[in-house]
């Protein structure tokens, strides 16, 4: 799909709008022709001026009505396109693997849905009509002039030709310059972002000079580049603007035109027509930069939308199967984020119902990745993951999430009431069930601290700390009541009281379920049925706390390091 094929959806209204705008531009030129005729007829009395007067009035009326009809149609096309695109994007976004969002960030989705769809609005509703007008007006004017007097037409088109030649010269080799311009701009932006993001560090450690060097250097590079570029092109660009400016055009047309009239090659009336038509014929060239930029922005918005629509979706099974029980098995699983480096290899693991499995290991070992794969945020690169004996790729998303729930580190709350946030786990839950889930998650007391309690809107009436958000997410999982639960233990930064509450909530949640926990502190998982030690994407040990501690190895060392730091 090419970016502009997006516009196929609205080909008919947009085509009609462009056709109407073309007629409007011709009518606009006709007005000048009528004016010239009017001036010519003035000495011949009232009867003679009526026809051009009526023609002028019709031209104005037609230009106004046609432009307004074209704009209405282009806006209708735009509204239809926006609706279709937003539906298609929502549909596509809904079918992307959940892991995609972690990698790409919600920022890209927001940019496309908000900014790029809006960028397309500009292209469809305005830019295409503007471009039509600036292309058709000179052509229509030239057509009228050629019909009236070819010599004057030639003179009138001269400033335009000179202008085009000068602009072409000033733009020669500009592709490389524009690339350099873009690179320099990006470097400045990166410098600003780095500086602003690091402002706390900069202020704390007083490294102001060094920290903003990247920004300062990028600005200096940009300044030098731009000065050199402007120096090379200013004279020629200014000459081009001058060539197509109304006074310059009039000087040329009147200067040569008067000589043509004197030499009886042209009539005074045709000279008047040329003097009226030549400036609007040349003027659009001065705006060439603006509309090229608008076209480029529109095309680039279309490219972003097309790219998002082309993102590979998570394959859905043709004939979804039903799992038999809720045993989860990872069989010789390998996974790569980038298709090159495998971050997991040969993972064999069984999560039996009612047991707790803890994943431990150094940072970057692949613990979170295993958790994400079990919840099918990504599909495995090799091997398979089964739930109740069925490959998770053969389950419908609905069935999968009826069986597997998850609570990840950055517990997401939506801008809705606290009760509805918890109810996301089970939309049909009664108030009493919501409250019971919140109690089990040790967050009920915090919720009722606010006078609006469960009706308080998150982010508007009430804000929660990270630990509280996580407990609300746990309440949601309690309510969803899935037999398998994947948890990314995120208590590392919680205060001791909050940590204790989260641990209580988790123990409550774990009762009777299959639990897979990404554990950062070993102390919380000493009672786990199975501790899996990962290192560099592979399982290096598996067993219970006591057994693992007994054998010298990574687990014993990790325990020593953590417990040593507690004593």
Ligand X SMILES: Nc1ncnc2c1ncn2[C@@H]1O[C@H](COP(=O)(O)OP(=O)(O)OP(=O)(O)O)[C@@H](O)[C@H]1O
* Interface positions with ligand X (CB under 6 A): 102-103, 337, 343, 361, 363-369
Q: How far apart are CB 488 and ligand X at their closest, in Å? A: 8
DSSP state of 441: T
Strand partners, 194: none
Residues 454-459: contacts with CB under 8 Å, at least 24 apart: 454/417, 454/418, 454/419, 455/417, 455/418, 455/419, 456/417, 456/418, 457/415, 457/416, 457/417, 458/413, 458/414, 458/415, 458/416, 458/417, 458/418, 458/421, 459/413, 459/415
Q: How far apart are CB 363 and ligand X at their closest, in Å? A: 3
- Closer Cβ to ligand X, 214 or 521, answer by number: 521
Residues constituting the chain: 567
Euclidean distance between CA atoms 21 and 31, whole angstroms:
15
- Closer Cβ to ligand X, 14 or 365, answer by number: 365
Q: How far apart are CB 371 and ligand X at their closest, in Å? A: 8
Please name the residue that has the structure tokens 């609007």: 280
Angle between helices 268-282 and 150-171 (to 10 degrees): 20
Q: How far apart are CB 476 and ligand X at their closest, in Å? A: 22
DSSP state of 319: S
- Closer Cβ to ligand X, 330 or 429, answer by number: 330
Q: How far apart are CB 524 and ligand X at their closest, in Å? A: 14
Q: How far apart are CB 331 and ligand X at their closest, in Å? A: 19
Q: How far apart are CB 374 and ligand X at their closest, in Å? A: 12
- Closer Cβ to ligand X, 102 or 416, answer by number: 102
Q: How far apart are CB 562 and ligand X at their closest, in Å? A: 13
Query: Which ranges of 105-245 does DSSP label H, i.e. alpha helix?
Result: 106-110, 117-121, 128-148, 150-171, 174-197, 199-205, 208-211, 213-243
- Closer Cβ to ligand X, 77 or 344, answer by number: 344
Q: How far apart are CB 290 and ligand X at their closest, in Å? A: 40
- Closer Cβ to ligand X, 397 or 538, answer by number: 538
At a CB cut-off of 8 Å and minimum separation 6, what does 561 contact? none
Q: 212 by DSSP, 3-state: which?
A: coil
Q: How far apart are CB 3 and ligand X at their closest, in Å? A: 27
Contact present, 422 and 440 (Cβ < 8 Å): no
Lateral strand order in the sheet of 404-407: 404-407, 484-488, 514-518, 356-360, 530-535, 538-543
How many CB atoms neighbour CB 110 within 10 A?
A: 10
Euclidean distance between CA atoms 516 and 525, whole angstroms:
11
- Closer Cβ to ligand X, 41 or 368, answer by number: 368
- Closer Cβ to ligand X, 212 or 367, answer by number: 367
Distance of CA 205 to CAs 118, 184, 202, 211, Å? 42, 28, 5, 10
- Closer Cβ to ligand X, 15 or 364, answer by number: 364
At a CB cut-off of 8 Å and minimum separation 6, what does 256 contact? 155
Euclidean distance between CA atoms 547 and 542, whole angstroms:
9
Euclidean distance between CA atoms 242 and 67, whole angstroms:
29
- Closer Cβ to ligand X, 369 or 482, answer by number: 369
């Amino acid at each position: 799909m090419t970016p502009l094929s997006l516009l196929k959806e609205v080909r008919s209204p947009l085509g009609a709008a462009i056709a109407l705008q073309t007629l409007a531009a011709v009518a606009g030129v006709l007005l000048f022709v009528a004016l010239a005729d009017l001036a010519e007829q003035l000495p011949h009395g009232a009867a003679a001026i009526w026809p051009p007067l009526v023609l002028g009035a019709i031209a104005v009326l037609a230009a106004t009505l046609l432009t307004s009809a074209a704009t209405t149609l282009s806006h209708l096309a735009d509204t239809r396109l926006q609706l279709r695109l937003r539906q298609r994007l929502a549909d596509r976004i809904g079918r992307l693997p959940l892991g995609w969002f972690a990698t790409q960030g919600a920022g890209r989705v927001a940019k496309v849905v908000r900014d790029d769809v809006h960028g397309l609005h500009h292209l469809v509703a305005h830019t295409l009509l503007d471009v039509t007008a600036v292309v058709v007006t000179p052509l229509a004017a030239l057509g009228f002039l050629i019909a009236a007097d070819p010599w004057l037409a030639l003179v009138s088109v001269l400033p335009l030709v000179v202008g085009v030649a000068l602009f072409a010269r000033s733009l020669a080799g500009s592709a490389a310059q524009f690339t350099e311009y873009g690179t320099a701009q990006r470097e400045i932006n990166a410098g600003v972002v780095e500086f602003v993001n690091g402002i706390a560090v900069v202020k704390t450690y007083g490294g102001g000079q060094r920290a903003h060097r990247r920004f300062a250097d990028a600005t200096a590079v940009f300044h030098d580049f731009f000065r050199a570029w402007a120096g090379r092109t200013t004279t020629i660009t200014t000459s081009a603007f001058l060539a197509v400016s109304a006074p310059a055009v009039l000087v040329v047309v009147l200067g040569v035109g008067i000589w043509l009239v004197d030499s009886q090659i042209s009539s005074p009336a045709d000279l008047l027509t040329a003097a009226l038509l030549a400036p609007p014929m040349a003027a659009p060239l001065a705006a060439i930069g603006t509309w090229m930029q608008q076209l480029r922005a529109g095309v680039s918005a279309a490219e972003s939308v097309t790219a998002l629509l082309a993102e590979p979706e998570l394959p859905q099974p043709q004939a979804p199967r039903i799992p038999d029980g809720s045993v989860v098995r990872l069989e010789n699983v390998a996974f790569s984020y980038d298709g090159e480096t495998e971050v997991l290899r040969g993972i064999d693991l069984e999560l039996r119902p009612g047991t707790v499995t803890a994943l431990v290991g150094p940072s970057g070992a692949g613990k979170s990745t295993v958790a994400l794969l079990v919840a099918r945020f990504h599909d495995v690169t090799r091997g398979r993951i089964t739930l109740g004996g069925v490959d998770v790729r053969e389950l419908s998303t609905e069935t999968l999430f009826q069986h597997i729930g998850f609570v990840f580190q950055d517990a997401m709350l939506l801008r809705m009431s606290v009760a509805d946030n918890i109810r996301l786990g089970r939309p049909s839950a009664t108030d009493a069930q919501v409250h019971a889930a919140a109690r089990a998650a040790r967050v009920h007391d915090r919720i009722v601290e606010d006078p609006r309690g469960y009706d308080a809107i998150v982010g508007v009436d009430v804000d929660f700390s990270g630990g509280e958000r996580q407990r609300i997410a746990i309440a949601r999982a309690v309510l969803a009541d899935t037999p398998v639960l994947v948890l990314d233990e995120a208590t590392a930064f919680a205060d001791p009281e909050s940590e204790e509450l989260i641990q209580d909530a988790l123990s409550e949640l774990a009762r009777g379920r299959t639990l897979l926990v990404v554990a950062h502190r070993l102390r919380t998982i000493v009672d786990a049925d199975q501790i899996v030690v990962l290192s560099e994407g592979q399982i290096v040990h598996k067993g219970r706390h006591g057994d693992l501690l007994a054998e010298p190895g990574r687990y014993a060392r990790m325990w020593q390091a953590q417990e040593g730091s507690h004593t």
